Amino acid sequence: MSQNGYTLTPLTGALKPGEPTDFRFTVTGPDGEPVTDYQVQHDKKLHFIVVSRDLAGFWHLHPDEAGGGVWSVRLTLPKPGAYRAFADFAPTGGSPLTLGADLLVAGDYKPKALPAAGRTAKVDGYEVKLDGELTPGRSSTLTLTVTKDGKPVTDLEPYLGAYGHLVALRAGDLAYLHVHPEESATAGPQIVFHTEVPSRGAYRLFLDFQHEGEVRTADFTVTAGGVTLPEQPGPDKPGETPDGDGHGDGHGDGHGDHTH
């Protein structure tokens, strides 16, 4: 929750499952006061990501400034359980930071098993194929290829300055890595990322891409360092979304390649 004197402080109390909430928070600086000056990175001053602790739910949001250093975002968490929020930003004159906070939704919590590892994701008629391996402690190249109805998508739309955005989260402690693609003169079908994971283990990857005016999210489970996942009892696909599109009231990217 704190780094380099900056702290993420939620201002909203109890959250109820399935109930829309204006979630409010501040980032306080080394002087103890709410930060009001931010660098604009990828068209936004601050990017906000929420995931369920079992990594079955993922929401990429963009809060609004409510004044006085307070941020507000419409948030609907579908089920009881534990969630993790990440605020991704760079204060004016400072380095990019990612701060986290736990969000708890009361009720009967039944965590899902981690989805089985796979190289293909399907969302809204699109298919995304993942090529490349994650190697702990070394730079890895990941190539994601987007097709629709079996045909390559060659007219991906720039979304906050890029053709795609990738978030990686390590299963267990939710170590966070946000990556952006290499600059490309082509709008698909391939999006290439260079990333480095900190350790062996299982990771969940979430790719945001925009086509025909809508942002969609493709998700994968991958492993690094020769880890083998246990067999799953059945399909356990993530799917609950806060407002029906996997991105809530805002769509997002984030910035930098930094792990927390």
What residue ranges do the domains of the chain occupy?
2-105, 120-224
What is the spatial distance between Cα 166 and Cα 203, in angstroms, rounded to a whole number? 12
By C-alpha distance, which of 31, 184, 171, 161 is closest to 93? Answer: 31
- Say which residues have a Cβ less than 8 Å from residue 214's Cβ, sequence separation at least 6: 124, 245
Q: By C-alpha distance, which of 138, 143, 118 is closest to 223?
A: 118
- Residue 241's Cβ-count burial label (10 Å; 0-12, 13-18, 19+) is middle
Closest CA to 87 of 73, 72, 75, 97: 97
Residue 242's nearest CA partner among 23, 8, 11, 89 is 23
Overall average pLDDT of the 94-102 stretch: 94
State the average pLDDT for the chain: 86
Checking if the pLDDT of 43 tops 90, the result is no
Is the pLDDT assigned to residue 151 strictly greater than 60?
yes
What CATH superfamily classification does 120-224 receive? Domain of unknown function DUF4426 (2.60.40.3340)
Question: pLDDT class for 243, splitting at 50, 70, 90?
Answer: very low
Q: Average pLDDT for residues 181-210, to the nearest whole number?
A: 90
Residue among 80, 19, 81, 87 nearest 50 (CA): 87
pLDDT at 200: 92
d(CA 132, CA 37) in angstroms, rounded, equals: 39
Q: What is 2-105's CATH superfamily?
A: Macroglobulin (MG2) domain (2.60.40.1930)
* Higher pLDDT, residue 113 or 240: 113
- In the prediction, which pLDDT does 33 show? 95
- The stretch 183-195 carries a mean pLDDT of 87
pLDDT band at 231 (very low <50, low <70, confident <90, very high): low
Q: Which of 178, 176, 223 is nearest to 201 (CA)?
A: 223
Section 223-252 average pLDDT: 53
Which one has a higher pLDDT value, 239 or 85? Answer: 85
Calculate the CA 3 to chain-centre distance: 20
* Beta strand pairing call for 2-3 and 58-61: unpaired
pLDDT-derived band at 230 (thresholds 50, 70, 90) equals low
Average pLDDT over residues 7-35: 94
Distances in whole angstroms, Cα of residue 30 to Cα of each of 101, 102, 157, 211: 18, 22, 39, 41
